[in-house]
């Protein structure tokens, strides 16, 4: 099974948009699991803990953890949700995948 990192936009001024992005990341993580991947989704993994423990939700706070996790993966899947092109976090993750010469899979919505 291939370990894959699931990237999608997260931050938004509207908390309901952020929550919807997490729900979509969760749903795609399940789809990837059913396709034989072992997905790691930072949104699925950290959103609820960040909310419960008042942790920052901006991409800069999570750089070290996200980079370390992506380094362990075999591929990157990017969910093209509204705002993905403008997301600093997604841009970093794509840049790292290029740096690690990692395959990138684009998920259309």
Count other C-beta atoms under 10 Å from residue 50's C-beta: 17
- Tens of pLDDT, residue by residue over 2-40, are 999 999 999 999 999 999 999 999 999 999 999 999 999
Count other C-beta atoms under 10 Å from residue 56's C-beta: 9
Region class of 36: left (phi > 0), else alpha (psi between -120 and 50), else beta: left
CA 105 – CA 77 distance, rounded (Å): 5
Residue 47: what pLDDT?
Answer: 87
Residue 34: what pLDDT?
Answer: 97
Task: Write down the pTM of the prediction.
Answer: 0.92
Domains, in order of start, for the chain: 2-107 (3.40.50.10400)
Residue 26: what pLDDT?
Answer: 97
| φ and ψ at residue 96, rounded to 5 degrees | -65, -40
Beta carbons within 8 Å of 92's beta carbon, 6+ residues apart: 59, 63, 66, 67
- Tens of pLDDT, residue by residue over 55-102, are 888 888 889 999 999 999 999 999 999 999 999 999 999 999 999 999
């Amino acid at each position: 099974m291939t370990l894959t990192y699931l990237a999608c936009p997260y931050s938004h001024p509207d908390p309901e948009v952020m929550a919807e992005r997490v729900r979509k990341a969760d749903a795609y993580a399940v789809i990837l699991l059913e396709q034989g991947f072992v997905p790691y989704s930072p949104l699925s993994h950290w959103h609820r803990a960040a909310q419960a423990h008042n942790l920052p939700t901006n991409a800069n706070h999570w750089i070290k953890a996200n980079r370390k996790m992506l380094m362990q993966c075999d591929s990157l899947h990017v969910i093209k949700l509204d705002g993905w092109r403008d997301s600093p976090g997604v841009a970093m993750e794509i840049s790292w995948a290029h740096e690690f010469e990692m395959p990138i899979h684009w998920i259309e919505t």
